Amino acid sequence: MKLQRKNGRGLRALTVGAVAVSGALVLTACGSDDNTKGGGDNTAAASNIKCDGAGQLLASGSSAQKNAVDAWVQAYTAACKDVQINYKDIGSGGGITEFLQGSTAFAGSDSALKPEEVTESKKVCKGGQGINLPMLGGPIAIGYNVSGVDNLVLDAPTIAKIFDSKIKKWNDPAIKKLNPEANLPATDIQAFHRSDESGTTQNLGKYLGTAAKSDWKYEDEKSWPAKGGQSANGSSGVASQVKQTDGAIGYFELSYATSQSIKTVKVDTGAGAPVEATVDNASKGIAAAKRVGQGKDLALDLDYTTKAEGAYPIILVTYEIACDKGNKAETLDAVKSFLTYTASEDGQKVLTEKGYAPLPTEIAAKVRETVPTLS
């Protein structure tokens, strides 16, 4: 499965939001130590974070990155004082909508902008357009809660049939075949999906539509396409439902499974052994990504059908979406300062412990080269 197909669809993730509401973080962001606006090269004491800009920075988007953003915000606000960053995790679709309306400085998305969205962005990015800046990667975990089952292997066709309500019992022959040693109960499968528009949903759809073409006939859109199942808002909502429901299965970023001690599926890719959803295994898949964006756009093309040993195939890359030119003057310095930190070595180092995969070296270098050129 590929992160971005030839029709221009990509994946959507990270976001930062408009006002401090439930689920929004208020960040005291970057400013120079002497509280001078536009402090440029001032570097916070005992930190490699260079603070610049002042005022309020609004952003919104993907909930997939929320745990990473929390960590970034904690480090950033410890060093920088003069900017408030309001992060609202409303899903990739919502973040793109707000960015295209001109109400946010940047959006977080697990899917790259579609061609029609790039065209629309030119109305907001005066003299320029919206571009995709990869900022982190990671596995989309398939989490489950089945009493007595601590080790579960599924392949793409079986996952597709489960989420399409074609396999309805945990002791279905297809699941038994993949798990001959497991004591699978006759419990009904409770499949949970996202109720909001989500790049995570779109990336799962890309995986299923590529690795299980015969069993998943839906377009890879941000809205859940299949009938049946149950829905919950955001990755946190799906994870909570799986955690508390016997017989449940759902999809969310690995960090949500880790933080709530939710068991995750190993995926039979056709390699020598089923592959577990881990940061290292996801990194092996992401490392093969190819750049498909032009100019300053860094949209990537991922391989969702890899059979490489130890390469986890259900992966996503989260983008920060900003204008290459035409960013609002009052927020430009703060945007560049914050994104410079998140793409830096220090910013990337915090990701692994949160269940995310840092950007491959070559991609990270390109992002670090591009962010300072935003204007």
CATH number of the structural domain spanning residue 240: 3.40.190.10
Full residue range of the structural domain in which residue 39 is found:
12-138+289-303+317-373
Whether the pTM exceeds 0.95: the reply is no
Residue 3 lies in a domain: no
Residue 167 lies in a domain: yes
How far is 228 from 189, CA to CA, in rounded Å? Answer: 11
Domain match, 76 and 187 both = no
- The tens place of each residue's pLDDT in the chain, 375 residues long, gives 333 433 433 333 333 333 333 333 333 333 333 333 333 333 333 358 898 988 888 999 988 898 888 888 888 888 888 878 888 999 999 999 999 999 999 999 998 999 999 999 999 999 999 999 999 998 999 999 999 999 999 999 999 999 999 999 999 999 999 999 999 999 999 999 999 988 899 999 999 999 999 999 999 999 999 999 999 999 999 999 999 999 999 999 998 999 999 999 999 999 999 999 999 999 888 887 889 999 999 999 998 999 999 999 999 999 999 999 999 999 999 999 999 999 999 999 989 888 888 998 889 999 999 999 999
Closest CA to 304 of 11, 61, 102: 11
Residue 89 lies in a domain: yes
Residue 309 lies in a domain: no
Which string of b and e fits 197-206 if b means at least 16 CB within 10 Å? Answer: bbbbbbbbbb
Domain match, 176 and 125 both = no
What are the residues whose beta carbons fall under 8 Å from the beta carbon of 240, sequence distance 6 or more?
232, 260
A 10 A CB-CB count for 261 gives 7
Domain match, 131 and 176 both = no
Domain match, 297 and 273 both = no
Residue 175 lies in a domain: yes
Domain match, 167 and 76 both = no
Q: Which two tokens stand for residue 110?
A: 């697990």
- What is the predicted pLDDT for the residue at 314? 96
- What is the predicted pLDDT for the residue at 33? 32
Domain match, 17 and 121 both = yes
Residue 1 lies in a domain: no
Domain match, 170 and 280 both = yes
Domain match, 145 and 134 both = no
- What is the predicted pLDDT for the residue at 134? 97
Closest CA to 234 of 281, 199, 265: 199
Q: What is the CA radius of gyration of the chain?
A: 20
Q: What are phi and psi of 181, to 5 degrees?
A: -95, -10
Residue 36 lies in a domain: yes
Domain match, 39 and 125 both = yes
Domain match, 125 and 193 both = no
Distance separating the N- and C-terminal Cα atoms of the chain:
34
Domain match, 223 and 122 both = no
Domain match, 149 and 266 both = yes
- What is the predicted pLDDT for the residue at 289? 84
In the chain, how many domains are there?
A: 2
CB 258 within 8 A of CB 239: no
Residue 7 lies in a domain: no
